Amino acid sequence: MIYKVVIIEEAKLDYKKSLLFYKDIHPKLAVRFNDSFKKSLAIIKQNPLLFQIRYDNIRIVFLKSFPYAVHYSIYENCIVIKSIFHTSRDSELNLF
């Protein structure tokens, strides 16, 4: 099955903030973060059922080399990215 990936606005903001954070440290670090994020999206798109449901029909994939997790749900042939979440953030602050 071919899946369409949709990233909600809150997740886009999470991504942009994280990318800017790494860019401020070093531009190459931002590139590595972006590549890691894209690889995670490719894995999700290729096989979205690979990762188990963790809570409220949300699945999680962790980025390699970065302390971030992509939280997503599957609706028919659509994958909805709900957040790009720093693993040290308080999960109670992330309301869907």
Note the pLDDT tens digit of each residue in 37-82: 999 999 999 999 999 999 999 999 999 899 999 999 999 999 999 9
CB 94 within 8 A of CB 18: no
The predicted structure's pLDDT at residue 87: 86
Residue 90 scores a pLDDT above 80: no
Query: What fold does the segment set 4-87 form as a domain?
Result: YaeB-like fold (3.30.2310)
**Considering only CA atoms, which of 84, 53, 56, 90 is closest in space to residue 68?**
84
Q: Is 83 exposed, middle or buried (0-12, 13-18, 19+ CB in 10 A)?
A: buried
Element (DSSP H or E) covering residue 88: none
